[in-house]
Homo-oligomer: A and B are copies of this chain.
Amino acid sequence: MRKKILVDMDGVLADVYAQFINFEYRDTGIKKDLEQLKGITEAEAFPLHHEHLNSQGFFGTAPLIEGSVEGLRYLNEKYDILIVSSATEFPSSLRDKYDWLQKYFPFITWKQMIFCGKKDSIKGDIMIDDHSKNLDFFEGRRILFTQPQNALLECDSYERVNSWHDIMDLL
């Protein structure tokens, strides 16, 4: 039986840091440098964070994480894939996220999508996520995808990957 992998969207498929930087630059003229954001939360890094997450289009126009299309296609052929995304906190993101997945990952069907509030009730064998709060409640194998907010995290119970290239090497 194929193993089931839960794949996060924001910070794993969608480059939300690039999007935060773009939206903040548009609204304030300040352009943040990724290197300066290591070890602080997204909310600390981007003062307009909450407003941008709530704005229509934020998720719908997010750029791709490099290598994610090729990487997810590879995983989808080898494993049972579920895309599990925190979305109900920002209801305008629901349709945006669906459309975004359809656009970039047309090989992912509606049967493989879960939009939720919390991820602690979703079953799987492997979870790939950039947020430790999601991995910490997961009973299977935990893969932490590096983003600035988790860059300084010690991770004894996670396997850290820095790219989709790393994921394809690992899985």
Interface of A with B (CB < 8 Å)?
A: 4, 6, 82, 87-89, 91-92, 94-95, 98-99, 109-118, 121-124
Given contact pairs A114-B114, A114-B116, A116-B115, A121 touches B4 in the complex (Cβ within 8 A): yes
Closest approach, in angstroms, between the C-beta of A35 and any C-beta of chain B?
33
Chain B residues near A92 (CB, 8 Å)?
A: 95
Complex CA distance for A82 and B87, rounded to whole angstroms? 15
Complex CA distance for A95 and B98, rounded to whole angstroms? 11
Main secondary structure of the interface of A (DSSP, over half): mixed
Chain B residue nearest to A123 in the complex (CB):
B121
16 A-B contacts, Cβ less than 8 Å apart?
A: A4-B121, A88-B111, A88-B113, A88-B114, A88-B115, A89-B110, A91-B99, A94-B94, A95-B95, A114-B115, A114-B116, A115-B115, A115-B116, A121-B123, A122-B123, A123-B123
Question: Is the beta-carbon distance between B109 and A98 smaller than 8 angstroms?
Answer: no
7 extra interchain contacts, Cβ-Cβ under 8 A, other than A88-B111, A111-B117, A116-B116? A88-B114, A89-B110, A91-B95, A109-B117, A113-B117, A114-B117, A115-B115
Closest approach, in angstroms, between the C-beta of A42 and any C-beta of chain B?
18
Question: Is the beta-carbon distance between A112 and B117 smaller than 8 angstroms?
Answer: yes
Closest approach, in angstroms, between the C-beta of A59 and any C-beta of chain B?
12
Question: Is the beta-carbon distance between B117 and A116 smaller than 8 angstroms?
Answer: no
Chain B residue nearest to A122 in the complex (CB):
B121
Chain B residues near A116 (CB, 8 Å)?
A: 113-116
Chain B residues near A89 (CB, 8 Å)?
A: 110-111
- Point out the residue from B88, B110, B121, B124 that lies within 8 Å of A117, measured CB to CB: B110
